[in-house]
């Protein structure tokens, strides 16, 4: 495995950071949006430039500065990080386009502030993706929490204030109260914080201590929305939809789940997890969230909240996949990071387009909307298929691998959980689509005139829906990266 | 010339105090430049001294050529050199930043203010640089008296009373310290720190030495506002005028922590303090109490300045507890935190000073919509808040790292929990203010108003030092590893785990 | 019994300073009038000065002033045990100065408080503060 020392990982993180003052000082809105797009495209280009080498098995490393031996601010681009970075950076470009349509369509205030903090948040996300050790991960994780606060509370009304409080309480509370001490205990035990191939803690004998650390990390990364620390996610739906879309369907929550995957593979390692039977513990914690999340989603009438609970459920699929410790399961879980991202973002984009076009937020008010916004609702249908895990969408493959993974790991209860959850997913998505398209004349709440949302909103959601279908036919890129990530 | 730096640091401000006092009768406008020059010289001397000590090791200066233990000796090792740099730079930056505020709020007392200010810094620097226990008492009283007077310059209805209470309690503290060194003098016959340290070991088990230790420590604890002896601090610092509180708050209590460390390292050696007396566990528990109570009391406040004073009480708990953990990590954390807390407190109080200069009220209700009006000040305030919470890469994170690691190594999990609890409470405290400043009244919501129309930022002379301090929060954070390795670890006596 | 008497009578200087210190402390805490508190503070400080001065004392010794007989300066050795220790006295000169300055500052503050509140009783002042 070749190690390449290159400044490119740092550049990928810095691109959007440097764009912030440019965005803040632009006088004209078009120039400002121009800077955002320039930064997003540049970031994507830098990341893609590292892709061929990573696919060959090399790793890029760069150490910015060392604080203590074993604790430094360092970057490492391996297949797992590359997968996440690809997803996040490509979706930033698309979401920026969507943001333009949404914010201008609603004539939102403080757009400069919005785009600045968006860029900062993406910088932090790529920072997490490319972290070489726990200290760097923690630094960018906190930076992300702080950068997304102004985005979540963008509307600056009472509701936003309450949600902001909940957001910070859950996210900062767990990261400072659980992750920080766990990180320091790991450093105290091993003298290092680097993510190593076989797990930093390999060889630790104390089962109680390792279990405690595992629980601290699992619940400490509350961005992964594992119950009971999930309540911030539905509350954060007060944010403008592009924020919800990227950050809460892709970046923020995926950072949480990515951190857990990194910690499980790089700090704990497969051997110690299986020898202490901790994999079963994590499986059960994850499956609780999967089932309960889906059940609550069924009861939600507000579309964004339903999508939020669906996300909570789907995130635990990823954790479950990795916790199965079987090759197929882990591959499926890691690839689901990508598949779910494209599917979920489509769904959120549609929700936003509906709001811009008609002002409707509640599912019960969306009867017959398929006649008015057929393109949007078709995209919604495709996104739903991806999340449920049906062909011809990319989500089918990740779910399929997860199912195979449970068989490989002999975890029959998990198989039941997965199948049950798929049924629940179908139960809360398909009726929405059905009601949108097939309804009687009296029930229809909209006239038959086709009037989609603004073009800047509709084009992105079509694009992500198309990508979801594309990934069904060409899933290799993500599955190869996932397979390499678990060392196969 | 360079061998005179230790004494120049103290005498230049001392003499300039007299010059300024003369000038205040004749030509008031010259007071500020003279003070600036004096403190600038001190900063220069302090930094040069730090480099000298890094090169040469311990630097000694014998006053008047008299050899210790008969004469007074100034002794500078890496610990004092660091604290000297902190004290002089904080004082210098603050002097520059608060000039406009002084000019506006008490123009007729400007000369007096600068005299007291310069004398206060003299006192603090003297405390730091001296190697003689009685000399320390004298300079401690110089610093304290000028602080009492500075505090009394605030609002006539509340400041004199707060200052008088501080006088009472502070005098008790200083007198206890004097009593302690009196017992030390009885037992050893010497007032020089190094000399006492060499004479004490045979008599470690005597009651008189124990009494000396207790009185010295209690006296220092009163002066550094260690819970529950902190009662003078909130009123005194809140009612002090802003230019004064932003120099007293970052420095006074931190220098007292330095005195505690100096007494344990160089007078009552660590052998006595940790191994003969078994009080370290008890003190760590007391610090946990200090941290928790400081945080809880801060939650209760409705005035931003008062809230900050309770945060100081909590931070003192960090330093005392970290030090008494008794291992290298904890002590490094405590000493590093002296540096970091001084910077953070200065940043916070300067920001509050800017706000008071423009808004004229410091209760939470006055802070509405501040992010639009004073974005740069609030950005610095947020940066300092993040440092207090302990978010990397600000300096506060790194001292927390050492303190928590020290707690884990010493097995003092209560202290670790107290530190984490305090971080979480700090999140609430600072985000409460950020919320109020950020969520404006509904009328301006959704109206597209250019930032430039609403902004009413503080003048440039107040903003530039604030920004320098805010940037140094991150810069010092990044260099923490180097600072600990090169400056702090060599200071720790051998024999500490 | 004899040891107890020896303990009390022999160390009477320490007992004296402790009693004075406690009186001063009591006055500072329990008295209501600000001037009485100030006096208490002064008594407290004076007790410590007394302590220091008393420890320099030696049995049968005289005041520490050396007599010079012209050309015999330094020719004869000085028996230290004949003269009481002057160092504590010197230290206490400084401490007295500190005590006086503190007293001055405190009195100035009391004057300012009186100008504002027209009373020197602490409970009345606190009541007026609360009314604000």
pLDDT in tens, B73-89: 999 999 999 999 999 99
Residues of B with CB under 8 A from a CB of C: 134, 137-138, 141, 145, 148-149, 152, 156-158, 160-161, 163-164, 167-168, 171-172, 175, 178-179, 182, 185-186, 191
The closest CB to that of B161, out of C55, C125, C132, belongs to C125
Model pLDDT for residues A352-407, shown as the tens digit of each residue:
888 877 777 888 877 777 777 888 888 888 889 888 888 888 888 888 888 888 88
Interface with C, mutate which of B116, B172, B180, B211 (most C CBs under 10 A): B172
Model pLDDT for residues B414-431, shown as the tens digit of each residue:
999 999 999 999 999 999
Per-residue confidence (pLDDT) for residue B453, from 0 to 100: 54
Q: What is the CATH number of the domain that holds C93?
A: 1.10.287.3510
Model pLDDT for residues A77-96, shown as the tens digit of each residue:
888 888 899 988 888 888 88
| CB pair distance less than 8 Å for B175 and C132 | no
Per-residue confidence (pLDDT) for residue C76, from 0 to 100: 64
Q: Which chains are adjacent to chain C, needing at least 3 Cβ pairs under 8 Å?
A: B
Residue C99's pLDDT band (boundaries 50, 70, 90)?
Answer: very high
Taking CB atoms and an 8 Å cutoff, what residues of chain A touch B333? none
| CB pair distance less than 8 Å for B424 and A142 | no
Per-residue confidence (pLDDT) for residue B245, from 0 to 100: 93
Does A have 3 or more CB contacts under 8 Å with C? no
Q: Does A185 touch chain B (CB under 8 A)?
A: yes
Among the residues of A133-157, which ranges form H helices?
134-152
Q: Are B350 and B458 in contact (CB under 8 A)?
A: no
| CB pair distance less than 8 Å for C55 and B185 | yes
Q: How many domains does chain C have?
A: 1
Q: Are A17 and A123 in contact (CB under 8 A)?
A: yes
Domain range for A424:
277-488
Residue given tokens 């008088």 in the structure block: B164
Strands A71-77 and A59-68: antiparallel
- Residue C121 domain flag: yes
Closest C-alpha to A164, from B292, B215, B428, B412: B428
The Cα–Cα gap between B17 and B160 comes to 23
- Residue A300 domain flag: yes
Model pLDDT for residues A420-470, shown as the tens digit of each residue:
888 898 888 888 888 877 776 655 666 666 677 778 778 888 888 888 888
Q: Does A188 touch chain B (CB under 8 A)?
A: yes
The closest CB to that of B167, out of C106, C115, C129, belongs to C106
What value does the mean pLDDT of chain B take?
Answer: 89
- Residue A486 domain flag: yes
- Residue A169 domain flag: no
- Residue C86 domain flag: yes
Largest CA-CA distance found in chain A, in angstroms, rounded: 71
Q: Left (φ > 0), alpha (ψ -120 to 50) or beta: where does A487 sit?
A: left
Residue B446 reports pLDDT greater than 60? no
Q: How far is C84 from chain B (nearest CA, A)?
A: 14
Domain range for C24:
2-62+73-131
% of residues, chain B, pLDDT over 90: 64
Residue B449 reports pLDDT greater than 60? no
% of residues, chain C, pLDDT over 90: 52
User: What is the CA B96 to chain-centroid distance, rounded?
Assistant: 18
Residue B317 reports pLDDT greater than 90? yes
Taking CB atoms and an 8 Å cutoff, what residues of chain B touch C51? 179, 182
Taking CB atoms and an 8 Å cutoff, what residues of chain B touch A184? 401, 404-405, 408
Q: Are A168 and A160 in contact (CB under 8 A)?
A: no
Q: How many domains does chain A have?
A: 1
What distances in angstroms separate CA B158 from CA A80, A205, C114, one per listed residue? 62, 61, 12
Could you count the other beta carbons within 10 Å of the beta carbon of residue A394? 30
| CB pair distance less than 8 Å for C48 and B167 | no
Residues 250-289 of A with CB under 8 A from B: none
Q: Tell me which chain C residue has its CA closest to the CA of residue B165.
A: C106
- Residue A417 domain flag: yes
Residue B497's pLDDT band (boundaries 50, 70, 90)?
Answer: low
Residue B439 reports pLDDT greater than 80? no
Q: How far is B286 from chain A (nearest CA, A)?
A: 21
ipTM reported for the complex, 2 dp: 0.91
User: Which two structure tokens, joined as six digits, stand for A209?
Assistant: 């201590």
Show the low-confidence residues of chain A (pLDDT under 70): 1, 440-450, 488
Residue B169 reports pLDDT greater than 70? yes
Residue C92's pLDDT band (boundaries 50, 70, 90)?
Answer: very high
Per-residue confidence (pLDDT) for residue C75, from 0 to 100: 54
Taking CB atoms and an 8 Å cutoff, what residues of chain A touch B438? 150, 153, 156
Stretch B161-187: mean pLDDT: 94
Per-residue confidence (pLDDT) for residue A443, from 0 to 100: 59
| CB pair distance less than 8 Å for C109 and B164 | yes
Q: Does A67 touch chain B (CB under 8 A)?
A: yes
Per-residue confidence (pLDDT) for residue A488, from 0 to 100: 52
- Residue C90 domain flag: yes
Largest CA-CA distance found in chain C, in angstroms, rounded: 76
- Residue C68 domain flag: no
Could you tell me the pTM of the whole model?
0.91
The Cα–Cα gap between C13 and C69 comes to 35
Q: How far is B405 from chain A (nearest CA, A)?
A: 6
The Cα–Cα gap between A157 and A148 comes to 17
Per-residue confidence (pLDDT) for residue B167, from 0 to 100: 95
Per-residue confidence (pLDDT) for residue B447, from 0 to 100: 44
Model pLDDT for residues C28-72, shown as the tens digit of each residue:
999 999 999 999 999 999 999 999 999 888 888 888 887 765 545
Interface with C, mutate which of B72, B175, B192 (most C CBs under 10 A): B175
Q: How far is C47 from chain B (nearest CA, A)?
A: 10
Per-residue confidence (pLDDT) for residue B418, from 0 to 100: 94
- Residue A232 domain flag: no
| CB pair distance less than 8 Å for A138 and B390 | no
Taking CB atoms and an 8 Å cutoff, what residues of chain B touch A144? none
Q: Tell me which chain A residue has its CA closest to the CA of residue B419.
A: A177
Closest C-alpha to A20, from A5, A2, A40, A3: A40
Q: Are A329 and A321 in contact (CB under 8 A)?
A: yes
Taking CB atoms and an 8 Å cutoff, what residues of chain A touch B480? 67
- Residue C111 domain flag: yes
Interface with A, mutate which of B370, B383, B404 (most A CBs under 10 A): B404
Q: Are B429 and B390 in contact (CB under 8 A)?
A: no
| CB pair distance less than 8 Å for B392 and A138 | yes
Q: How far is A24 from chain B (nearest CA, A)?
A: 11
- Residue A20 domain flag: no
- Residue C67 domain flag: no
Residue B443's pLDDT band (boundaries 50, 70, 90)?
Answer: very low
Buried/exposed code over A292-306 (b: 16+ C-beta within 10 A; e: otherwise): bbbbbbeebeebbbb
- Residue C41 domain flag: yes
| CB pair distance less than 8 Å for B167 and C41 | yes
The Cα–Cα gap between A417 and A313 comes to 11
Model pLDDT for residues B267-293, shown as the tens digit of each residue:
988 888 888 888 889 999 999 999 999
């Amino acid at each position: 495995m070749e190690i390449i020392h290159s400044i490119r990982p740092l550049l990928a993180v810095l691109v959007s950071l440097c764009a912030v003052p440019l965005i803040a000082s632009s006088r004209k809105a078009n120039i400002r949006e121009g800077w955002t797009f320039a930064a997003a495209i540049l970031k994507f280009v830098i990341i893609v430039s590292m892709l061929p080498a990573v696919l060959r098995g090399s790793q890029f490393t760069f150490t910015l500065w060392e604080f203590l031996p074993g604790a430094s601010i360092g970057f490492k681009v391996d297949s797992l990080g590359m997968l996440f970075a690809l997803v996040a950076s490509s979706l930033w470009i698309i979401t920026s386009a969507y943001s333009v349509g949404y914010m201008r369509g609603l004539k939102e205030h403080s757009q400069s502030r919005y785009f600045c903090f968006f860029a900062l948040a993406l910088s932090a996300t790529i920072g997490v993706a490319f972290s070489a050790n726990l200290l760097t991960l923690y630094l960018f994780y906190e930076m992300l929490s702080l950068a997304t606060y102004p985005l979540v509370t963008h509307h600056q009304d009472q509701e936003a204030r309450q949600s902001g409080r909940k957001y910070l309480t859950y996210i900062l509370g767990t990261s400072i109260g659980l992750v920080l001490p766990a990180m320091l205990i790991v450093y105290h035990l091993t003298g290092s914080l680097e993510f190593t191939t076989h797990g930093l803690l390999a060889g630790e004998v104390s089962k109680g201590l390792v279990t405690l650390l595992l629980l601290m990390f699992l619940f400490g990364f509350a961005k992964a929305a594992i119950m009971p620390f999930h309540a911030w996610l539905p509350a954060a739906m007060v944010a403008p939809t592009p924020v919800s879309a990227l950050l809460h369907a892709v970046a923020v929550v995926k950072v949480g789940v990515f951190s857990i995957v990194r910690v499980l593979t790089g700090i704990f390692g497969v051997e110690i997890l299986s020898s202490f039977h901790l994999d079963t513990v994590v499986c059960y914690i994850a499956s609780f969230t999967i089932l309960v999340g889906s059940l609550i989603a069924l009861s939600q009438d507000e579309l964004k909240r339903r999508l939020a609970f669906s996300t909570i459920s789907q995130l635990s699929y990823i954790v479950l996949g990795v916790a199965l410790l079987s090759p197929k399961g882990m591959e499926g879980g890691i690839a689901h990071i990508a598949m779910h991202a494209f599917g979920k973002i489509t769904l959120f984009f549609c929700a936003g387009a509906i709001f811009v076009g008609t002002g409707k937020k509640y599912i019960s008010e969306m009867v017959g909307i398929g006649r008015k916004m057929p393109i949007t609702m078709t995209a919604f249908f495709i996104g739903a298929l991806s999340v449920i895990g049906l062909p011809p969408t990319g989500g089918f493959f990740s779910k399929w691998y997860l199912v195979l993974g449970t068989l490989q790991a002999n975890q029959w209860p998990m198989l039941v959980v997965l199948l049950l959850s798929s049924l629940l997913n179908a139960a809360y998505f398909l009726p929405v689509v059905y009601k949108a398209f097939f309804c009687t004349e009296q029930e229809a709440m909209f006239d038959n005139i086709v009037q989609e949302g603004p073009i800047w909103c509709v084009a992105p959601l079509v694009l992500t829906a198309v990508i979801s279908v594309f990934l069904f036919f060409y899933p290799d890129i993500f599955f190869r990266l996932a397979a390499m990530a678990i060392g196969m | 010339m360079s061998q005179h730096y230790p004494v120049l640091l103290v005498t230049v401000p001392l003499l300039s105090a007299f010059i300024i006092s003369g000038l205040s009768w004749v030509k008031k406008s010259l007071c500020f430049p003279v003070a600036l020059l004096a403190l600038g010289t001190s900063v220069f001397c302090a930094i040069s001294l730090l480099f000298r000590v890094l090169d040469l090791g311990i630097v000694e200066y014998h006053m008047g050529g008299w050899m210790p233990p008969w004469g007074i000796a100034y002794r500078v090792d890496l610990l004092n050199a660091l604290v000297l740099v902190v004290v002089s730079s904080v004082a210098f930056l603050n002097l520059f930043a608060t000039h406009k505020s002084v000019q506006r709020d008490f123009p007729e007392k400007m000369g007096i203010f600068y005299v007291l200010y310069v004398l206060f810094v003299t006192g603090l620097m003297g405390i730091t640089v001296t190697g003689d226990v009685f000399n320390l008492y004298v300079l401690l009283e110089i610093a304290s008296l000028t602080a009492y007077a500075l505090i009394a310059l605030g609002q006539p209805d509340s400041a004199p009373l707060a200052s008088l209470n501080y006088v009472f309690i502070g005098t008790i503290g200083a007198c206890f310290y004097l009593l302690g060194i009196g017992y030390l003098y009885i037992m050893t016959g010497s007032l020089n720190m190094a000399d006492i340290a060499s004479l004490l070991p045979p008599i470690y088990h005597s009651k008189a030495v124990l009494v000396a230790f207790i009185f010295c420590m209690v006296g220092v604890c009163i002066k550094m506002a260690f819970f529950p002896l902190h009662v003078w601090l909130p009123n005194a610092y809140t009612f002090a005028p802003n230019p004064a509180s932003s120099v007293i708050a970052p420095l006074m209590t931190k220098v007292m922590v330095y005195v505690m460390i100096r007494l344990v390292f160089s007078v009552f050696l660590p052998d006595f303090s940790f191994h003969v007396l078994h009080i370290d566990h008890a003190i760590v528990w007391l610090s946990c109490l200090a941290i928790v109570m400081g945080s809880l009391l801060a939650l209760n406040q409705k005035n931003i300045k008062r809230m900050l004073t309770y945060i100081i009480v909590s931070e003192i708990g960090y330093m005392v507890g970290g030090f008494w953990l008794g291992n290298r990590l904890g002590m490094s954390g405590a000493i590093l935190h002296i540096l970091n807390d001084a910077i953070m407190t200065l940043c916070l109080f300067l920001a509050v000073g800017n706000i008071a200069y423009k808004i004229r009220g410091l209760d939470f209700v006055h802070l509405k919509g501040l992010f639009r009006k004073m974005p740069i000040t609030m950005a610095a305030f947020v940066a300092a808040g993040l440092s207090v919470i302990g978010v990397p890469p600000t300096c506060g994170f790194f001292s927390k790292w050492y303190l928590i690691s020290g707690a884990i190594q010493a097995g003092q999990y209560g202290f670790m929990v107290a530190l984490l609890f305090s971080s979480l409470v700090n999140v609430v405290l600072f985000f409460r203010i950020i919320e109020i400043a950020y969520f404006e009244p509904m009328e301006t919501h959704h109206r597209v108003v250019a930032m430039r129309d609403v902004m009413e930022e503080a003048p440039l002379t107040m903003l530039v030092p604030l920004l320098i301090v805010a940037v140094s929060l991150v810069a010092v954070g990044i260099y923490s590893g180097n600072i600990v390795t090169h400056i702090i670890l060599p200071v720790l006596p051998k024999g500490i785990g | 019994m004899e040891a107890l008497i020896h303990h009390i009578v022999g160390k009477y200087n320490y007992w004296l300073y402790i009693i004075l210190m406690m009186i001063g402390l009591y006055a500072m805490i329990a008295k209501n009038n600000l001037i009485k508190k100030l006096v208490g503070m002064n008594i407290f400080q004076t007790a410590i000065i007394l302590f220091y001065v008393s420890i320099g004392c030696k049995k049968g010794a005289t005041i520490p002033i050396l007599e010079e007989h012209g050309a015999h300066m330094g020719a004869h050795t000085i028996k230290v045990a004949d003269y009481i220790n002057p160092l504590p006295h010197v230290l206490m000169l400084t401490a007295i100065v500190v005590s006086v300055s503190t007293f001055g500052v405190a009195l100035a503050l009391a004057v300012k408080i009186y100008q504002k509140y027209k009373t020197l009783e602490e409970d009345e002042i606190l009541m007026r503060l609360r009314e604000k």
